[in-house]
Amino acid sequence: MEVNHAIATRRSLGRVTQDPVPREMVEEILASAVHAPNHKITEPWRFHVFAGKGRGELARARAELARREAEAEGEEEDMAAGRISRERKKAFRAPLVIAVISAAGREEVESLENYAACCAAVQNMQLTAHSLGLGSIWRTGPVAYHEYMREFFGLEEGDRVVAYLYVGYPDMDERPRCRKPALESTIWHEE
Ligand SMILES: Cc1cc2nc3c(=O)[nH]c(=O)nc-3n(C[C@H](O)[C@H](O)[C@H](O)COP(=O)(O)O)c2cc1C
């Protein structure tokens, strides 16, 4: 797929089928990530691939975090059970979930730039998935960044969770994309 076309036609697709993503495709998606620009060639990306039954590991972690939060908030048992179940199910929204982690740099600026490089890597992954006929969505939110999830991934200070990329075969229509034209966000310095 031509790159401009891939960029313009990619959409975040939150609904995908449970059909497994072939291993070769997963490897192609990962391979595209490491072509992202990265300052000082730190190659800061780390990937955790959760596929098929392996998603259970992620589901258990999310459920345990939900349980702890419900307990800390003194939530009633029924409410807590619903919350835990909803969180557990989230890991199974796609047949493949790739967590992208950014490794700490040697100092603050390098850590920041490592994170930036990983964001570029995620875009590569989404474009590659799209070119393979797959849908993907980059998900995060407070739970993704929570200390409990950091421990789950064995992160050290300065390491960061960048994305949970949910990938699978599309099971929804593509939404139109509405964006302000780039020129509305542009200041030209020409003279
Ligand atoms: C850092 C980051 C975090 C995101 N987290 C979520 C998320 O938690 N849930 C979600 O539905 N979409 C999330 N998205 C995807 C955006 O919702 C999506 O890119 C946006 O709606 C634009 O749609 P498009 O990707 O189809 O252009 C995230 C995107 C980025 C860059």
- For residue 144, the ligand 1 atom closest to its alpha carbon is 8
**What pTM value is reported for the model?**
0.96
pLDDT in tens, 11-38: 999 999 999 999 999 999 999 999 999 9
Secondary structure (DSSP) of 162-178 = EEEEEEESB-SPPPPP-
CA of 124 to the centre of ligand 1 (A): 15
Residue 188 vs residues 47, 179, 180, 181: alpha-carbon distances, Å: 38, 20, 17, 15
Hey, whose CA ends up nearest to atom 20 of ligand 1?
12
In contact, 8 and 87? CB cutoff 8 Å = no
Residues with CB under 6 A from ligand 1: 11-12, 14, 137-141, 177
Report CA torsion sign: 55, 167, 115, 103: positive
Q: Domain coordinates of the chain in residue numbers?
A: 3-172
pLDDT in tens, 83-108: 999 999 999 999 999 999 999 999 99
Hey, whose CA ends up nearest to atom 31 of ligand 1?
138
Please say whether the structural domain 3-172 has been given the CATH code 2.30.40.10. no
How many residues are recorded in the chain?
191
